[in-house]
Structure 1
Amino acid sequence: MNLSDSQTGGTAPRRVSAMEAALGHLRDAIERGEYAIGDKLPSEAELCRTLMVSRPVLREALRALQTMGLTVSRTGRGTFVVADAVGDPTFGDYAAGDLMEVRRHVEIPVAGYAALRRTPEDLDHLADLLRRMERETDATSWVALDSLFHLGVAQAAHNPVFRKVIEEIRDALARQSAFLNELGGRREQSDREHRAVLEALAEGSEDKAVEAMTHHLDRVGTTLTDIVRSARTPAGGGA
Structure 2
Amino acid sequence: MSEDSASAARRQATGALEQAIRPARNRSLGDEVYDALARLIGSGELGSGSRLPSEGELCRLFAVSRPVVRKALTQLREDGMIVSRKGAGSFVSARAAGGPRGLEDPEKQLGTMLQALEFRCSIEPDAAYYAAIRRGPRELAGIAAALDDFDRLEHEPARRRVDMAFHRSIAEAARNDHYARALDVIDYDIEIGITLARHLSQLGQEERRTAIFAEHRAIYLGIEAQDPAAAREAMLRHLEYSRVRVTARGEEILRRVRGGD
Do structure 1's residue 192 and structure 2's residue 214 form an aligned pair?
A: yes
Are 2:106 and 1:89 aligned? no
Count of matched residue pairs: 166
Query: Which range is displaced more, 182-191 or 224-233?
Result: 182-191
Q: In structure 2, what residue type is equivalent to 1:89?
A: Q
Partners of 2:127 and 2:141 lie apart in 1 by 18
Alignment-mate amino acid for residue 88 of structure 1:
K
Residues 13-62 of structure 1 show CA distances to partners (whole Å, capped at 9, x for unaligned) of xxxxxxxxxxxxxxxxxxxxxxxxxxxxxxxxxxxxxxxxxxxxxx9xx9
Name which of 170, 181, 206 aligns with 1:164.
181
Q: TM-score, normalised by structure 1?
A: 0.59
CA separation of 1:80 and 1:88: change in aligned 2, threshold 3 A: closer
Q: Give, in whole Å, the separation in 1 of the partners of 2:180 and 2:187.
A: 10
Give the Å deviation of 1:113. 1.1
Structure 1 residue aligned with 2:254: 232
Match of 1:223 in 2: 245
2:116 to 99, 102, 114: 99
Match in the other structure for 2:98: 75
Query: Could you say what the CA RMSD is over the residues aligned between the two structures, in angstroms?
Result: 3.2
Residues 1:142 and 2:164 are matched in the alignment? no
| Aligned mates of 2:199, 2:136 — CA distance in 1 | 34
CA distance in 1, matches of 2:178, 2:109: 27
Where does structure 1 lack aligned partners over 5 or more consecutive residues? 1-58, 64-71
Counterpart in the other structure of 2:41: none
Contact 1:115-1:202 at 8 Å conserved across structures:
yes
Matches within 5 A, 1:1-239: 74-75=97-98, 86-89=106-109, 95-177=112-194, 179-180=196-197, 183=200, 185=205, 186-233=208-255, 237=260
Are the counterparts in 2 of residues 181 and 187 from structure 1 also a CA contact under 8 Å? no
CA deviation after TM superposition for structure 1 residue 196, in Å: 0.8
Given the superposition, is the C-alpha separation of residues 149 and 228 from structure 1 closer, same or farther in structure 2, using an over 3 Å criterion?
same
1:119/1:138 Cα in 2 relative to 1: closer, same or farther (>3 Å)? Answer: same
How far apart, CA to CA, are the structure 2 residues paired with 1:212 and 1:114?
A: 13
CA contact (8 A) 1:144 1:174 kept: no
Q: Which letter maps to 1:202?
A: E
Question: Which residue of 2 is the match for residue 40 of structure 1?
Answer: none
Cα drift, residue 177 of structure 1: 4.9
Deviating 4+ runs (over 6 angstroms)? 80-83
Deviation track 1:101-121 (CA, whole Å, cap 9, x = no partner) reads 210111111111111111111
More helix by proportion, 1 or 2? 2
C-alpha distance in structure 2 between counterparts of 1:195 and 1:80, whole Å = 33
Question: Unaligned stretches of 5+ in structure 2?
Answer: 1-75, 81-94
CA distance in 1, matches of 2:115, 2:229: 25
With the length of structure 2 as denominator, give the TM-score of the two structures: 0.55
Q: For 2:181 and 2:118, locate their aligned partners in 1 and report how far apart those are by CA, in whole Å.
A: 17
Distance change in 2, residues 1:174/1:192 (3 Å) = farther
In structure 1, distance between residues paired with 2:147 and 2:198: 16
Contact 2:200 2:249 survives alignment (8 Å): yes
The aligned residue for residue 9 of structure 1 is none
Q: CA distance change for structure 1 residues 233 and 80 in 2, over 3 Å: closer, same or farther? A: closer
Task: Assess, with a 3 A threshold, how the Cα gap between structure 1 residues 131 and 79 changes in structure 2: closer, same or farther.
Answer: closer
Aligned-partner Cα distance in 2 for 1:169–1:150: 13
